[in-house]
Structures are given as structure tokens and as C-alpha cells.
Structure 1
Amino acid sequence: MTYNFYTVAIAEFIATVTIARPPVNAQNGPMREELITIFETLGEMEEVRVIILTGAGKIFSAGADIKERVGITAGAGDYARNNRIVRNFFDVVSDCPKPVIAAVNGPMIGAGFVLALCADIMIASETASFQMPEVNVGLAGGTAFMTEHFGRSRARAMYLTGRTYPASELYRLGIAEAVVPNEQLLDEAIIYAREIASKSPLAIQAAKQGFINVKEMPVRDAYRYEQTLTVGLSKTDDAKEAQRAFVEKRQAKFVGR
């Protein structure tokens, strides 16, 4: 697969998607639409069980391309189109049926930070940092993502000041799974990806769907919903194979059925 703003490599059931829009991987409309296509495609590919999302160069993503924003025309439908593409850009990552690991190689700024937060697991380089500078350019957007992951005071202080914080703060708060030296970043992400890819793809996808759907449910209803997922999975060949392998003390061989 060849793209203008990304490279995509697939091996061992793992797809590695690298943002490649130098110099700072800023996001514009065509770049966002291309990522939507990539994730829609990977989400349906049987040979892909996990996706790693990272950035080329020293910056994960500097966020929205302000040069493009200046060209948006009021009254011509430009704002509506831009907003729809931006929403879909984030949703296609968070709603992807395959788990997504953000391997954050450097600063993630504004929409770049939100993109990383849309992944299921975040692993960051020691050189990574995060910032929500929307107010610095006269805008406001993304507070919903901040309040989902941060407490009231931290979310508002971060957003209203536009301060930059080190990736170690994300680890301290339990938002990042790990912070590692830059040269170890992709290796660490692949360790997690391989472990996930070794499980039943049906169980992994059901688990991710469970995480998505139970967010807005009361605990009682959420657990009942999850029980229906378990009942459905118990009838699959993968579940039967996993149980046989457990009893026989061997590695299970999953086929996704």
C-alpha cells in the first residue's frame, strides 16, 4: 500500500502506520482523509490484528496545520466539511476494531495529542511531550478529550495555560503505559503488539468493542452486556482451541473463527 502522508508495513499480524508529513507531521485535510482510508482498510484485513501508530522524524504530530485553517472560508461549507473530517479522523482510530498502540516518538501538540489519546495503548519516548495550545492561536477545541483523561484542575490548567508537559507526567497519571528511551520505542511497542496478536483475534476485538460500548453504561448493565459477548465467544472455534490448549499445556493456535 502506497500513500502520500504515511508509510504502512505489515508483518506478524502487526501493521505499523508511520505519519510522514515533514517537517512536523502537521495535520491537513488530505492527510486526515488518507488516515481514515488506511484505518478503514486495516480494520477489515484478516492479516492485521494490531496496529502501531507512530511518527517519522522527531515529532509525533504538531497538530492541525494552521496554514490550512487560515484558508477556510465562512459561509461556503468549509467549516462543516473540516469539522466532519476531523471528527472522522479521531473516530477511525478510537473505533478501529483492531487494538491501536500509539508509539509516540516526540512532541504531540493539540490535535496530535488528541490523536495519541485515541489509541488504546500509549507508549512514549523519553523525548515526547504533550501540549494543548489551542488558546494560543485563538481557538478552543478538544476539552472533551482532556476531561476524559485528566482530573478537573489538571485538564483546565493544561488547556487554559497551553503549557508543555513531559511524557513522564502521562506515565505518572496512568495515561501512558510506558515511557522508554527513544531507541527502544518501536521495540517496546512491538513487544506489546506481538503479545496481543498471539491471542484470539475474535476475543481481542470483542474486548475492544466492550471497552467502547460500556463507557456510557451503568456498571450493572455494562457487565450484562459483556456477558453476552462472552457467550458469543464461547461458541467459536478459537475459544474451544484455547480451552483445549490450556488443558493440554500448549500454545493455542488461533484462526479467527
Structure 2
Amino acid sequence: MIGSTVDEHGVAEIVMDNPPVNALPVKGWFDLAAALDAAGADPAVRAVVLRAEGRGFNAGVDIKELLAARDHSALVGVNRGCAAAFTAVYDCPVPVIVAVQGFCLGGGIGLCGNADIIVASGDATFGLPEVDRGALGAATHLSRLVPQHKMRAMMYTSATATAAELHAFGSVLRVVPRAELRAAAFTVAHDIARKDPNVIRAAKESLNGIDPWDPKRSYRYEQGFTFELNLTGVADKVRDEFGR
């Protein structure tokens, strides 16, 4: 489900591969966090490329796992797992470059919003269909990708934005054909890997330190409303309708 390798230039490649849509279960989110933490802890690693196999980059959480749970344990687990994975991207001591193809939804937005650099294929679309799943969250990260009012419209309507739109906003660095996506991400990563690693690690830490808000804290605030919707029964109703 989560694979990791390091090339001769010090670029770690972490790959999500969970057919059919790369929706990750609880364990998958924690495994992703562990892979990112391990890459950042390796002094030989100078940059990380996070990408996926299959039709899309990431479809968020595994809704079927939530529907199958008899209690809230899966919900608590996946919320903690997502928080851990998003934090691992943000706190990784080296730059994280995400390569996005196809759909990037829900948790995928959390990964991209906390990444340092985004490269996308021309068919990539980004969205937060959380309200259609009886949940909230990752508006924190979407607001790092699109302007405030665009984020609100996307959140309320579950509309998606294209890679071209995000490129125009400046949040996607390059838009390339899908066949060139991995190579484009590695071009950026290798450019970073040629720099002094001590300077790059200091730059990453300093840039996180001047962020206007803490995405870890704001995401956990959002998650509180997801728990509230579950405790009141609203989320169960919406999820049941989605699962039919």
C-alpha cells in the first residue's frame, strides 16, 4: 500500500498504491506518516517525492471502513491517522514534492496543502467533497491552495478545481502530461538535492516558523465539528445515503 525507496541523489520516493481509488484505511494513513517520518530522519535524504499509482492521487479516507465499524473507533482512528500523515508532510525536515494525477480529494488535499511543492498532470482535479460525506476538515489545507472565497465555494458545493486553475493561483508549480509527471517531480527534487542539505533543512524549518497560522492546530479544530456531526447522528445519515 505504501512503498518507499531512496535514489543515489538522496531523493526519497514514497508511493501510495491502494486500488481502486487510493482511499486509505486507518492503517494506510499511519503507514504513510511512518514512511515520511523515516525519510525525514534519514540524513542521506535531501528531498521527498510523494506520488501515487493508479487512476488518481488520493480519494481520502476509506468510507467503507467507516460504514463497517460498529462504533466510532474507525472514525477516531482515521482522523488521527490523517492528522499524523498531514503533520508528517508538514514537519518533514526536507522539502516534500507531491506529484498529483487524476483526482485529489479529501485527505489528498491535506497532503497537498501541507506539501512544499506541487506538480500535477493536466487531468488532475482537486476537491473537498466532505459535506457530501457528513464530515468536515482539510479546509485548512485547501485554503493554502486557493483563495479564501474560492475555498468556501468549493467547500459548500463540493466543486473541484483543475490543475490549470491552481497553477494560475501559484499553488501548483508545473502542469505536465501524465506520462511526464514522475519525471517532472524528480526534476524539481534533484534540483533541491544539489543544494547544501544543511541549508535546505534550515530553510524548511524557517519557512514553517513564519507560517501565518498553524495548520496542525487548525485542522484539529475542524475535526471537532466532524466528531460533533457524528455524535448527533447527522454524519451517519449522510454516509448511509452516500453508501447506497
- Secondary structure of the corresponding residue to residue 14 of structure 2: strand
1:90 maps to what in 2?
86
Q: Residues 135 and 51 (structure 1 numbering): CA distance in 2 closer, same or farther, change over 3 Å?
A: same
- Is 2:60 the counterpart of 1:69? no
2:113 maps to what in 1?
117
CA contact (8 A) 1:73 1:79 kept: no
Q: Residues 82 and 19 (structure 1 numbering): CA distance in 2 closer, same or farther, change over 3 Å?
A: closer
Pairing 1:45-64 to 2, within 5 Å after superposition? 45-64=42-61
Pairing 1:104-183 to 2, within 5 Å after superposition? 104-183=100-179
List, as ranges, runs of 4+ consecutive aligned residues in structure 1 with deviation greater than 3 Å. Answer: 71-74, 76-82
2:96 maps to what in 1?
100
Q: For residue 151 of structure 1, report the CA deviation from its aligned partner.
A: 2.3
Q: For residue 79 of structure 1, report the CA deviation from its aligned partner.
A: 4.2
2:30 maps to what in 1?
33
Q: TM-score, normalised by structure 1?
A: 0.78
RMSD: 1.7
| More displaced 10-residue stretch of structure 1: 104-113 or 50-59 | 104-113
Measured in 2, the distance between the counterparts of 1:27 and 1:73 equals: 19
CA contact (8 A) 2:94 2:204 kept: yes
2:218 maps to what in 1?
none
Q: TM-score, normalised by structure 2?
A: 0.82
Which residue identity does 1:146 align to in structure 2? L
Q: For residue 116 of structure 1, report the CA deviation from its aligned partner.
A: 1.8
Residues 99-150 of structure 1: per-residue CA shift (max 9 Å, x gap): 1000112210111122122210000001111111011122222222223333
Measured in 2, the distance between the counterparts of 1:50 and 1:8 equals: 13
CA contact (8 A) 1:124 1:185 kept: yes
Greater relative CO (CA pairs within 8 A, separation 6+) = 2
Residues 161-197 of structure 1: per-residue CA shift (max 9 Å, x gap): 1012211111011110110111111111111111100
Measured in 2, the distance between the counterparts of 1:24 and 1:79 equals: 19
Where does structure 2 lack aligned partners over 5 or more consecutive residues?
Answer: 214-244
Tell me which structure has the larger Cα radius of gyration: 1
